[in-house]
Structure 1
Amino acid sequence: MRKLSVASGKLSSEFELIARLTADIRHSRRTILGVGDDCAIVSRPRGSTLFTIDSMVENVHFDLRWCPPQALGARALAINLSDIAAMGGRPTACVVNLGVREGITSRTLERIYSGLRDAARESSTDIVGGNVTRSRELSITIALLGEVGRSVMRRDAARPGDEIFVTGTLGDAALGWRILAGKLKAGGNTKRDRAARKYLVERFLRPHARLYAGQRLAALRPVPAAIDISDGLMQDLSHILERSGVGAEIDASRIPVSPAYRALMGDDLVHALTGGEDYELVFCVKLGHSESELSRRLRVGVRRIGTIVRGKRLNVIGASAPIVAGWDQLRSRG
């Protein structure tokens, strides 16, 4: 039995830790065998299977000094759920790998799993297994299965003439991270300013995957091209353009931003255009859908921001500053 140093002094092995973290996990009927064997057994979906994986690494994606463990656990699942949402799917089951560094207490890990279990329950996702390993930094990696029915949204389906829409508001999470990391100058200390900063921080710490919106979008005909906004609108939209072999024209004045964003940034849209981790959806649909109709269908605010055009260029109309690429995992974060 391998030793794993956990700061509580009460746990001596990874197996004891796994048993404690997974003790309260409940499964749906589609899980035949969950935690406790060499593999989980899940029933086969009737449609296609989606499979995604993502990691969160300490001092790259989060800092425990300002990221509550429960929020961290929920966030680790949410960023995977957002990939399923972007293809119009339903999440089914996941496995979790924890990389545990020296100094992490069992209480911290239990709180991470508490947030993870809550997020799994809310999204009807079964946690069916995982692993614990020693690591230099705390990390959480989740591999997630999902399923889709007749239609799946892909990045290669955009066509000239399609209109480009986004859900929700953009740039909030980028500002929230900068507030937490001390990279955004303090604003005023009025009640309004404090409320704005609190809202932006929450948008970063507790993102919400647009699962229902994605499933409703996938029911449209023709099926839209779509992607979730994890690395910034400009960069993620560029992935659709590259895969579809088209260009786009974006009207910066149409970019949706929250009152909290506006309170801190005014008319500066750089974070709304390039900031990542909002986990909203950007999608391209055939001409003829209104914002109000789509908002009702998806149960979330929707804004038309541009058009798919011929060619390979992404042009931003009305931008006051050069647009740079969004968040890149292999670049330092600024």
Structure 2
Amino acid sequence: MRKLSEASSKLSSEFELIARLTAGIRVSRRTILGVGDDCAIVSRPRGQVLFTIDSLVENVHFDLRWGSPQALGARALTVNLSDIAAMGGRPRACVVNLGVREGITSRKLERIYSGLRDAAREASTDIVGGNVTRARELSITIALVGEAGRGVMRRDAARPGDEIFVTGTLGDAALGWRILAGKLEARGNTKKNRAAEKYLVERFLRPHARLYAGQRLAALRSAPAAIDVSDGLIQDLGHILERSGVGAEIDALRIPISPAYRALMGDDLVHALTGGEDYELIFCVKPGRAESELSRRLGVGVRRIGKIVRGRRVDVIGAGAPIDGGWDQLRSRG
């Protein structure tokens, strides 16, 4: 690694900074050698290996003024954990790359890492190494290794007749982002609306990966097709349909939305259908599974929203107006 020049008078050299950031890291027995060498050494997984990578980039995915550095660090890992959840796996170990711009202090980076460490500990994930480099904007890139059990959920497993379900509620994070970005004003200034705004903002800043739900789904006799909602229901479901060569019918009136969402948006379902970063799961299972049964099994509320059909298109019934798009990483948000 090349030495990192000081981004400010308070920022240490690269190796001093790495030592400070990783001082509190504890690893499990499956990590043979963690931070400190050219490579980490981890024990071989018992099942199939899952591998994913994702980034959060300043002014694309976050604004440092919006929340605490700890929440940002936890969120950076959560977006990777959600990929593992969508495959039904268990996270094992990750490496972290920080791109640090001028003006970022060591203290802020330590707080980011504190949140990251807490999220890793909660998800039984070892942080085994990383890198620090100069950058024009602050970025956090995490590569995560997971382990699949007997069943693996894939996008290409949907079949005509399968029923489509989602966990939790949709659209909350999209509204939270719009509130933080000043693009959404609540109707009035009631105490109820202020509480709704707070809830929606928290859903954006502190998402949760559905790891347990994913593992329970993958353990079904026939592992369902699945994906996490990172770019919006319509766009993410579209990935399943494309990979499986099928179409879908969605009942917009069955899309699960939170009381906070309804308080601000009423019956407008656009953000629930197209908003991203909720990190809930969409999954397609054979007919006969009740919502109540699946909710108990997965430990989270589940709603049936439609079915897989022959063809290659998505029909959204009851939306009122044509629905198009979702969150695109290469397109600026409106």
TM tier relative to shorter chain: over 0.9
- The residue type equivalent to 1:302 in the other structure is V
Tell me what 1:242 maps to: 242
Corresponding position: 1:94 with 2:104: no
Tell me what 2:252 maps to: 252
Alpha-carbon separation, structure 2, partners of 1:123 and 1:96: 16
Shift >4 Å, 4+ stretches: none
- The residue type equivalent to 1:242 in the other structure is E
- The residue type equivalent to 1:99 in the other structure is G
Alpha-carbon separation, structure 2, partners of 1:300 and 1:171: 17
Tell me what 1:274 maps to: 274
User: Is the CA contact (8 Å cut-off) linking 1:8 and 1:107 kept in structure 2?
Assistant: no
Tell me what 1:303 maps to: 303
Corresponding position: 1:138 with 2:143: no
TM-score when normalising by structure 1:
0.98
Aligned to 1:226, the other structure's residue is in SS state strand
Tell me what 2:222 maps to: 222
Residues 317, 100 of structure 1: CA spacing in aligned structure 2 closer, same or farther, 3 A cutoff? same
* Larger deviation, residues 318-327 vs 281-290: 318-327
Query: By how many angstroms is 1:3 displaced?
Result: 4.1
Corresponding position: 1:198 with 2:192: no
User: Is the CA contact (8 Å cut-off) linking 1:98 and 1:132 kept in structure 2?
Assistant: yes
List per-residue Cα deviations over 1:150-180 (Å, max 9, x = no partner).
Answer: 1100000000000000000000000000000
TM-score when normalising by structure 2:
0.98
**Paired residues for 1:1-334 under 5 Å:** 2-9=3-10, 11=12, 13-334=13-334
User: Is the CA contact (8 Å cut-off) linking 2:153 and 2:225 kept in structure 1?
Assistant: yes
List per-residue Cα deviations over 1:290-331 (Å, max 9, x = no partner).
Answer: 000000000000000000001111000001111111001011
User: Is the CA contact (8 Å cut-off) linking 1:6 and 1:106 kept in structure 2?
Assistant: no
Alpha-carbon separation, structure 1, partners of 2:160 and 2:9: 59
Query: By how many angstroms is 1:126 displaced?
Result: 0.2
Query: By how many angstroms is 1:8 displaced?
Result: 4.9
User: Is the CA contact (8 Å cut-off) linking 1:160 and 1:246 kept in structure 2?
Assistant: yes
Alpha-carbon separation, structure 1, partners of 2:270 and 2:154: 27
User: Is the CA contact (8 Å cut-off) linking 2:230 and 2:278 kept in structure 1?
Assistant: yes
User: Is the CA contact (8 Å cut-off) linking 2:11 and 2:105 kept in structure 1?
Assistant: no
Unaligned runs of 5+ in 1: none
Alpha-carbon separation, structure 2, partners of 1:7 and 1:111: 17
User: Is the CA contact (8 Å cut-off) linking 2:4 and 2:132 kept in structure 1?
Assistant: no
Residues 8, 106 of structure 1: CA spacing in aligned structure 2 closer, same or farther, 3 A cutoff? farther
Residues 10, 220 of structure 1: CA spacing in aligned structure 2 closer, same or farther, 3 A cutoff? closer
User: Is the CA contact (8 Å cut-off) linking 2:186 and 2:193 kept in structure 1?
Assistant: no
Alpha-carbon separation, structure 2, partners of 1:3 and 1:312: 50
Alpha-carbon separation, structure 2, partners of 1:80 and 1:3: 26
Aligned to 2:144, the other structure's residue is in SS state strand
User: Is the CA contact (8 Å cut-off) linking 1:224 and 1:285 kept in structure 2?
Assistant: yes
Alpha-carbon separation, structure 2, partners of 1:10 and 1:64: 17
Query: By how many angstroms is 1:10 displaced?
Result: 5.7
Q: What value does the CA root-mean-square deviation take over the aligned residues?
A: 0.9
Alpha-carbon separation, structure 1, partners of 2:9 and 2:237: 46
Aligned length: 333
Aligned to 1:95, the other structure's residue is in SS state strand
Alpha-carbon separation, structure 2, partners of 1:36 and 1:108: 22
Alpha-carbon separation, structure 2, partners of 1:97 and 1:170: 30
Aligned to 2:322, the other structure's residue is in SS state coil
% identity of equivalent residues: 85
List per-residue Cα deviations over 1:227-280 (Å, max 9, x = no partner).
Answer: 000000000000000000000000000000000000000000000000000000
Alpha-carbon separation, structure 2, partners of 1:2 and 1:131: 11
Alpha-carbon separation, structure 1, partners of 2:32 and 2:8: 35
Alpha-carbon separation, structure 2, partners of 1:270 and 1:186: 16
Residues 8, 25 of structure 1: CA spacing in aligned structure 2 closer, same or farther, 3 A cutoff? farther
- The residue type equivalent to 2:200 in the other structure is L
